[in-house]
Chains A and B, each alone.
Chain A
């Protein structure tokens, strides 16, 4: 250590910890969005490091579409219990049942997550929401600040973002406004996996190769389950697959893979020529600016 070298993963970790502490010190009611996916798992890991030996000083929240991979939910509940943090579940199913939102045709609940999220934010009066989004995921996200201001409607205005210089983050908001905070902004998918390997962080099993009944649709492999039925003319088959992202089970696809360890996943991610969202997320294919449009509505 005599030359004071800092690896890029250590630099990213130090930046992430700094961001968590900054929010805890300056915001009134922060919350961490946690889905049981790999990015939010790394977020929780960083949060735990930021405040050790104290507990994480804010709750975590899952906007639950009701279309979950059971492995991810099981992981979520176990991890939250281990860390002793409070879990808030904002249920899309309950919102549908009460008539607050209407289930769109086609079964994807991606878009109706937004009003449920904003309703929970209002109810709990959260002023800062940690999200696991990375700038490498998508071109609209590449434009987003680490502290991203949202107005009282939860809207992102990409033309009117607060300048962000050095590590001086402006988290000031008026009542009902929020800051979305992205500690993983500067991480790439490969960084996440290398960090998971380096820190030996456990993950839900769906991230590793396993046999699953799938149908091929629009060039992607969708698992057949209670949320996703076969369409006319589609035949299912059992394939060796893993997930690169964990989202709503109705619109998140698997990729064919033999990678059943973290090391093999890293090798696979390093070699792939398709982005994780391009390979697995039907929701991003809606239009050229699908993500930007959803973010303007209040989505993460």
Chain B
């Protein structure tokens, strides 16, 4: 990409207080043009800086590449550059006057499924790239499946390299149709499909004149306007207590506040709340921040809640509404993605679980099946989960988890599994029941 073939760059925002934040994860197979697309988004939004570009140009030239390898912008590690592949998630940032964006640039290779899962866990939107010449490959389906499993609310399929198929509507329609049929099976709530050429810039920032048959908007326009505010759960009040604030100073001796980030729901002073797991009820006396009290708190605000009664409340407890409580259970069913290469998940294995601000120990009671993420076939004879494998397990915990089904609440439905001997994060779980 040279500076001359880039359309008029978007103006950088000077006042950003009004803009909100969209997190998206990119996925796609190795040569689908993911790095080129990211490079173009960064370049066209003035986020790619001259010194970064010239550094990449210099490395490309020194290696004798025919063209500037934009993948070097995102492959930041020595070993990634040596091998020419992306190993780990990289986070990239750009903004337009409307929105700020965080890109989780996840590796395409199946070997790094765990990194795809990592990037998608916090994403509002997943962006899946396919090469128009190749159509849907196994990798596209696998990534779409993982994004649907992680309940990423919005999905965009970019049919890339349209310039190499003569901007053919027929090619695009065929891929779009095939993918739509596949996505229906996965329960993808919002799917948008855009024909693009990341290299030439068609439909990335501006609508392309090369595809007059396409009536939708450009990719960037979609990213700027997709409605994400209602993706948050504002119904079920869930406030995991993170830290108890008790200033030991003379003028605040009686102060006792429960600090945390609102996981879901809207909390107001005067609301009746139940403290879990103890089950005591009280009312919210105030919702406070360092900048003063709030009339209400909602996700993702970090606040401090004071209660009307003196109760025993500590980290790991949760505030909810008496008539709308999470499940409190020691028996959890979950889909687990195993992420450790040195050890595997085994039945009767014992692990530490981190769920909201709560930490418990758990034993694997049963591995119901291992899922083949390519065919969605269930192997019920499986006895272990190895690196990058996904399976359905039954866990028994030492004390209750205060949880919801992941499909209803991403914040109270997900957990990580930690090996108590090595302290490594060895797996991630999605509560299904």
Contact = CB atoms under 8 A, between A and B. Distances in A.
A15 B266 CA distance: 18
A243 to B, nearest CB: 17
Given A21-B242, A50-B259, A190-B16, A142 B247 contact: no
A54 B261 contact: no
A267 B13 CA distance: 9
Contacts of A278: 49, 51-52, 55
Interface stretch (B162-170, B177-185, B324-332, B416-424): B416-424
Contacts of B260: 18, 21
A124 interface: no
A191 to B, nearest CB: 7
Contacts of B354: 168, 170
B398 interface: no
A18 B302 contact: yes
B425 A48 contact: no
Interface stretch (B90-98, B139-147, B189-197): B90-98
B100 interface: yes
A159 B91 CA distance: 16
B206 interface: no
Nearest to B9: A273
A3 B355 CA distance: 29
Contact of A185 (B15, B91, B261, B352): B91
A159 B121 CA distance: 20
B301 A7 contact: no
A121 B335 CA distance: 39
A165 B411 CA distance: 11
Interface string A245-286: 000000000000000000000110011111100110000000
Given A143-B76, A167-B261, A274 B51 contact: yes
A57 to B, nearest CB: 9
Given A6-B20, A8-B16, A18 B414 contact: no
Given A270-B13, A274-B51, A165 B300 contact: no
B16 A53 contact: no
Contacts of B121: 165-166
A204 interface: no
In this complex, the member of A10, A14, A52, A165 whose beta carbon has the largest number of chain B beta carbons within 10 angstroms is: A165
Interface string B344-355: 000000001011
A174 interface: yes
B6 interface: no
B323 interface: no
Nearest to B100: A8
Interface residues of B, number: 83
A198 interface: yes
B14 A270 contact: yes
Interface stretch (B111-119, B208-216, B269-277, B371-379): B111-119
A167 B240 CA distance: 12
A62 interface: no
Interface string A61-103: 0000000000000000000000000000000000000000000
A138 B415 CA distance: 30
B290 A48 contact: yes
B232 interface: yes
Contacts of A270: 12-14
Nearest to A164: B118
B382 interface: no
Given A11-B21, A18-B302, A162-B425, A4 B266 contact: yes
A7 B291 CA distance: 16
Interface in B269-306: 289-291, 295-296, 298, 300-302
A269 to B, nearest CB: 9
A83 to B, nearest CB: 12
B246 interface: yes
Nearest to A84: B249
Nearest to B75: A139
Given A166-B122, A266-B14, A275-B51, A54 B46 contact: no
A225 interface: no
Contacts of A174: 423
Interface in A1-40: 1, 3-15, 17-18, 21-22, 24-25
Nearest to A185: B91
A49 B292 CA distance: 11
B50 A273 contact: yes
B87 interface: yes
Contacts of A232: none
B87 A159 contact: yes
A143 B77 contact: yes
B117 A53 contact: no
B390 to A, nearest CB: 14
Given A5-B229, A53-B247, A266-B14, A279 B118 contact: no
A55 B260 CA distance: 17
A24 B234 CA distance: 28
Contacts of B291: 49
A7 B242 CA distance: 23
B5 interface: no
Given A48-B290, A170-B425, A274-B50, A163 B12 contact: no
Interface string B30-45: 0000000000000000
B49 A166 contact: no
Contacts of A273: 46, 49-50
Contact of B73 (A139, A164, A173): A139
Contacts of A272: 49
12 contacts: A4-B234, A5-B20, A11-B20, A14-B301, A21-B259, A22-B243, A52-B290, A53-B247, A53-B249, A166-B122, A191-B100, A194-B16
List the 6 closest pairs (A to B, CB-CB), nearest first. Answer: A139-B76, A278-B51, A54-B247, A49-B290, A8-B21, A52-B290
Interface of A: 1, 3-15, 17-18, 21-22, 24-25, 48-55, 135-136, 138-143, 158-159, 161-168, 170, 172-174, 185-186, 188, 190-191, 194, 198, 266-267, 270-275, 278-279, 288-289, 292-293
